[in-house]
Structure 1
């Protein structure tokens, strides 16, 4: 059981005996009384999305998930293809199944496939991935005086802020949990 205040985007919980993926979660505090946790849940079985409100302090059951080591092979646009490392079986996930994880997938990336009752429902990424900067503004002398950073587009299409010294063509490490720059690779 997990307290609703600890729910995070991407978790899979049981609601009315059916597994649901947390698509969005926000906390709201009332002037007097307990807070409300507003969630947007997507049924893993039907794909139906619904809004569910919980009272602060409520507990929900986490779905019984299993994990298998896999490798990302390729994307054909709408679908993403993975191969299990133990038996080389291939699995296909949709862009909808992956949510924001799609921005970190590069060929041959090793990760964990998430299964619910032998059906793949998503991926668990490594905490840090190495991606190539394909577009960013050039740096100028004195840029570092003000601190901060500049926008950059990575090879997967992900847009993040990077320090001024990062140039187009460089490889950088990105935290998959926050989507932030970590360091040069």
Structure 2
């Protein structure tokens, strides 16, 4: 059990039967009375944000979350299918759960899935992923100014800004935390 003094940004709690994470935290001690703990919480299943204020002395149940190493298999009409590396159990995550992370998934990629019971509620990708450029405007002679970027689309459908020398068919490395171009990959 957590007490109010344990509250901090990033702490995961079980509130009303659902796991929540504290995304913003503020402590205040008025002149009289109990200390107030103002929290902005995000429901880890629905993504809903809400504010709650707690008084000192309240206790909270920790959310029983587990991170499991899984392998991305494929996408179908039900969602994105992942397989546990040890038990071979399959978990399906919806497009809403993945958000923009779906653009960085490659077949057989190993990822960490955040599980609440038997439900996958989040994903942790590797920091960098290599993807091939499928569409990009050709380089024009004279486009050598520093910082001159152009849009490019990679094999998963993600569009990002790349340097002007990147052409169609080039394998590039993308930072999955920011979604930005990192470097060209030598083959």
Bigger radius of gyration among the two: 2
TM-score by length of 2: 0.72
Q: Distance in 2 between matches of 1:26 and 1:150?
A: 36
Aligned pair count reads 162
SS of 1:3's equivalent in the other structure is coil
Q: Distance in 2 between matches of 1:140 and 1:106?
A: 31
Using a 3 Å threshold, how does the CA distance of structure 1 residues 156 and 21 change in structure 2: closer, same or farther? farther
Give the equivalent residue in structure 1 for 2:74: 74
Q: Distance in 2 between matches of 1:162 and 1:61?
A: 46
When the two chains are superposed, the root-mean-square deviation of aligned CA atoms in Å is: 3.1
Q: How big is the shift at 1:48? A: 7.1
Q: How big is the shift at 1:43? A: 5.0
Deviation by residue 1:138-159 (Cα, 9 ceiling, x = unmatched): 1122212242311111111111
Q: Distance in 2 between matches of 1:117 and 1:65?
A: 7
Give the equivalent residue in structure 1 for 2:181: 181
SS of 1:92's equivalent in the other structure is strand
Deviation by residue 1:134-183 (Cα, 9 ceiling, x = unmatched): 11111122212242311111111111111111111111111110101111
SS of 2:81's equivalent in the other structure is strand
Give the equivalent residue in structure 1 for 2:15: 16
SS of 1:169's equivalent in the other structure is coil
Give the equivalent residue in structure 1 for 2:42: 41
The question of 1:3 aligning with 2:2 is answered no
Using a 3 Å threshold, how does the CA distance of structure 1 residues 178 and 152 change in structure 2: closer, same or farther? same
TM-score by length of 1: 0.73
Unaligned runs of at least 5 residues, structure 2 = 1-5, 26-37, 54-59
